[in-house]
């Protein structure tokens, strides 16, 4: 009989950024629990809001499958006599397990034929399994940070306040963190409790109470409100998926409220206005059809009973207050040009023991002189002026006194530079911001935001499509500090940020590891390889590529080999055939690699597949003759050299691995 299982964990408000990984983790843990316990089920759905995480399992059996265990006995030779009669040992085995000889089976085990029987244990009720396991499952849900709130040591993102755990209309009694399960849930604050009469009615009851548990439904409601705002005011949403994701997880009863601010604040640089609206208030921002920032904004509230006009008035008042402050900072800053502030950098200590911002800027100028080789079309003096101006915005009123605008560091410098007559090339963001201070962050401890700086480097390199060798740049950075280079450790730190970016782009973990683990310091090149492999990961050719690359690499494991074979020593047609094919495609392969056309590279390498399989099927690589063996290993190494600069294929996972 199939039923519906409901598990709702009610909490204080969980931060929006915690919800998606936590809900994903909760579902994975539940699927693992069901699978491990052989419980038949249909769909496992997870729903979440800031105040609840809910699992609904459709078509779940009320019991786990019977557990079948093979219980082994003695060898057949000791179970039966030569006449086929039971031995005393056999009689004891049958009696101990309360079975008959008809239930006995035989199989080979450990080189002997032994007897066994299949023990069948009735499956336990799902209610009992859930009651016994839920505490552990909830405790294992992953959050970036957790807290304790009572004396029992239980950790969760926020205090658990209620739990609904039901199989159809039956409450499953369980206690987690001092909270006992029942059928009572809660909706909006100050609203009456919600009694869940049946697990399959949960979503209907929540929606009747104006709670939307499904984040995708909330997302659609918010997008519908955004599109309505666009239509009503003839404006265009400044698409911001990151903010959309956050707002979806900030509310559980979304209520759209539009507002407007006075047009005089459009005199401010656009990033300042957007920061005031987006960062501080989580408002959605719009532009007019001409691309100019609109005075309209959209806020998503969480109280359907609120007085909309009163809330709108309050929202507009808050925005005006923030923009008025920004206008004051802006007008003060325009009284002095950025270049006039360069000397003041000498008065600002950057880090204890590492000099002033002026000292840091001098070091960055030296890095820029090295980087100029990658920007030959930009005059060297312009790059150097970029660096000299890059830190001056830290002395502006907007950043010094306007604490809510500190995220505009670098951006506000660009806006001021343009307003003050600098050329656009001078107004670009800093090219590199590698922070080699206080050691690299460990765990979640990153007081100097080095990860953010490293992420900025990766974002610039990938976003601008810059093929930059980082080892020389890192060596120069250490030299400027007068320190012993730790290039590989810092390169690994930057590569870890590249991993994060590729993960955000949907690159599969094993592909990412196979590419990033290469001994290469050009991050953009690694990124392109990862994206190329990820694009073809579900195609049969990808599996073929990994198989042949692995097959070649495995032969060379722990073996020293020359880099090129002697063709005169080939003795088999398969050797000559693969060498001929490899040399045939080599010119095109080198051009494709040089031009970073990695999908073409893969296609060319796949042409070697049949030749590689033939070589290993027809030729004994580890021949007895030492010269022949050495030459065949050199041939394999020659072939492998065509693959090994693309990825470490041993790290890539195939079906069945």
Residue with tokens 């495995």: 554
Residue-level length of the chain: 657
Q: What is the pLDDT of residue 194?
A: 97
**Domain residue ranges in the chain:** 2-62+125-208, 67-121, 215-333, 342-525, 537-651
Euclidean distance between CA atoms 458 and 497, whole angstroms:
7
Residues of the chain short of pLDDT 50, as ranges, are: 422-441, 444-448
**Could you tell me if 99 and 110 are in contact, meaning their C-beta atoms sit under 8 angstroms apart?**
no
Q: CA 110 → CA 76, 89, 525, distances in Å?
A: 13, 20, 52
Kindly tell me the burial class for residue 81, based on how many C-beta atoms sit within 10 Å of its own C-beta (0-12, 13-18, 19 or more). exposed
Distance between first and last Cα of the chain: 36
Q: What is the pLDDT of residue 447?
A: 39
pLDDT digits (tens, 9 = 90+) for 59-97: 999 999 988 888 898 898 889 888 888 999 999 989 999
Look at domain 537-651 and name its CATH class: mainly alpha
Read off the tokens for 449: 């935001």
Side-chain-facing half-sphere of 160: CA atoms under 13 Å: 26
pTM to 2 decimal places: 0.64
| DSSP letters for 488-504 | HHHHHHHHHHHHHHHHH
Q: What is the pLDDT of residue 450?
A: 62
Euclidean distance between CA atoms 298 and 254, whole angstroms:
12
Distance of alpha carbon 561 from its chain centroid, rounded?
39
Closest CA to 478 of 470, 487, 469: 487
**Could you tell me if 41 and 31 are in contact, meaning their C-beta atoms sit under 8 angstroms apart?**
no
Read off the tokens for 387: 């660096």
Q: CA 140 → CA 22, 39, 181, 223, distances in Å?
A: 10, 20, 18, 33
Euclidean distance between CA atoms 115 and 72, whole angstroms:
6
Euclidean distance between CA atoms 156 and 153, whole angstroms:
10
Euclidean distance between CA atoms 171 and 193, whole angstroms:
16
Read off the tokens for 22: 């936590």
Does 537-651 match 2-62+125-208 at the fold level?
no
Q: What is the pLDDT of residue 439?
A: 45
Residue 564 Rama label (left phi>0; alpha psi -120 to 50; beta): beta
E-strand spans in 168-208?
A: 170-171, 175-176, 179-180, 184-185, 194-195
Closest CA to 97 of 75, 70, 65: 70
pLDDT digits (tens, 9 = 90+) for 548-568: 888 878 877 766 767 789 999
Q: What is the pLDDT of residue 425?
A: 36
Euclidean distance between CA atoms 500 and 530, whole angstroms:
12
**Could you tell me if 393 and 375 are in contact, meaning their C-beta atoms sit under 8 angstroms apart?**
no
Euclidean distance between CA atoms 318 and 163, whole angstroms:
37
Closest CA to 652 of 524, 540, 550: 550
Percent helix, strand, coil in the chain (nearest 5)? 50, 15, 30
Q: Which backbone phi and psi does 374 adopt, to 5 degrees?
A: -90, -5
Q: Which backbone phi and psi does 656 adopt, to 5 degrees?
A: 95, -10
pLDDT digits (tens, 9 = 90+) for 602-617: 889 888 888 988 988 8
Q: What is the pLDDT of residue 648?
A: 87
**Could you tell me if 184 and 193 are in contact, meaning their C-beta atoms sit under 8 angstroms apart?**
yes
The domain defined by 2-62+125-208 folds into Alpha-Beta Plaits (3.30.70)
Alpha-helix residue ranges (DSSP H) falling in 556-597:
573-594
């Amino acid at each position: 009989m199939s039923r519906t299982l409901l598990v709702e964990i009610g909490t204080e408000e969980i931060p929006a950024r915690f919800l998606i990984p936590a809900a994903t983790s909760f579902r994975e843990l539940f699927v693992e629990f069901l699978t491990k316990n052989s419980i038949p089920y249909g769909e496992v759905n997870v729903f979440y809001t800031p105040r609840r995480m809910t699992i609904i399992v459709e078509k779940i059996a009320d019991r786990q499958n019977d557990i079948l265990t093979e219980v082994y006995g003695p060898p057949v030779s000791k179970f039966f006599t030569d006449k086929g009669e039971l031995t005393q040992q056999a009689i004891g085995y049958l009696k101990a397990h309360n079975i008959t000889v008809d239930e006995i089976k035989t199989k080979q085990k450990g080189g002997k034929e032994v007897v066994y029987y299949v023990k069948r244990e009735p499956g336990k009720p799902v209610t009992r399994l859930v009651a016994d396991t839920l505490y552990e499952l909830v405790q294992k849900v992953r959050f970036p940070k957790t807290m304790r709130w009572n004396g029992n040591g239980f950790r969760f993102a926020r205090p658990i306040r209620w739990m609904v755990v039901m199989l159809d209309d039956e409450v499953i009694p369980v206690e987690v963190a001092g909270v006992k399960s029942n059928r009572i849930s809660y909706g909006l604050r100050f609203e009456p409790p919600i009694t869940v009469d049946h697990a399959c009615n949960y979503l209907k009851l929540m929606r009747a109470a104006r709670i939307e548990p499904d984040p995708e439904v909330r997302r659609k409601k918010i997008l519908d409100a955004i599109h309505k705002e666009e239509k009503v005011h003839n404006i265009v949403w400044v698409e911001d998926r990151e903010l959309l994701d956050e707002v979806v997880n900030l509310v559980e009863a979304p209520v759209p409220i539009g507002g407007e601010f006075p047009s005089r604040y459009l005199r401010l640089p656009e990033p300042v206005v957007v920061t005031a609206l987006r960062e501080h208030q989580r408002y959605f921002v719009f532009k007019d059809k001409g691309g100019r920032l609109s005075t309209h904004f959209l806020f998503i509230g969480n109280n359907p009973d609120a007085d909309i006009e009163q809330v709108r008035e309050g929202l507009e008042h808050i925005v005006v207050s923030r923009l008025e402050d920004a206008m004051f900072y802006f007008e003060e800053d325009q009284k002095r040009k950025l270049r006039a502030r360069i000397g003041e950098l000498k008065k600002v200590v950057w880090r204890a023991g590492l000099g002033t911002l002026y000292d840091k800027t001098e070091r960055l100028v030296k890095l820029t002189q090295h980087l100029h080789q990658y920007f030959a079309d930009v005059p060297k003096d312009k790059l150097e002026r970029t660096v000299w101006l890059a830190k001056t915005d830290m002395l502006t009123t907007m950043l010094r006194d306007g604490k809510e605008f500190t995220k505009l560091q670098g951006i506000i410098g660009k806006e001021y530079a343009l307003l003050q007559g600098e050329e656009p090339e001078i107004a670009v963001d800093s090219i590199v911001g590698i922070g080699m201070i206080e050691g690299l962050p460990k765990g979640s401890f990153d007081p100097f935001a080095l990860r953010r700086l490293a992420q900025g480097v990766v974002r610039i390199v990938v976003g601008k499509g810059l093929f930059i060798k980082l080892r020389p740049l890192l060596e120069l950075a250490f030299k400027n500090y007068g320190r012993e280079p730790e290039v590989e450790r810092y390169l690994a730190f930057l590569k870890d940020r590249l991993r994060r970016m590729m993960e955000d782009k949907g690159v599969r973990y094993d592909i990412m590891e196979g590419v990033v683990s290469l001994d290469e310091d050009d991050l953009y090149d690694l990124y392109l390889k990862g994206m190329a492999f990820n694009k073809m990961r579900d195609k049969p050719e990808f599996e073929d590529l990994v198989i042949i690359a692995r097959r070649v690499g495995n032969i060379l494991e722990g073996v020293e080999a020359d880099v090129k074979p002697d063709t005169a020593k080939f003795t088999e047609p398969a050797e000559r055939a693969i060498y001929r094919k490899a040399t045939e495609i080599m010119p095109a392969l080198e051009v494709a690699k040089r031009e970073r056309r990695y999908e073409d590279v893969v296609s060319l390498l796949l042409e070697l597949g049949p030749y590689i399989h033939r070589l290993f099927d027809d030729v004994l690589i580890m021949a007895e003759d030492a010269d022949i063996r050495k030459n065949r290993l050199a041939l394999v190494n020659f072939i492998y050299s065509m693959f090994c600069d693309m990825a470490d294929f041993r790290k890539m996972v195939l079906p069945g691995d």
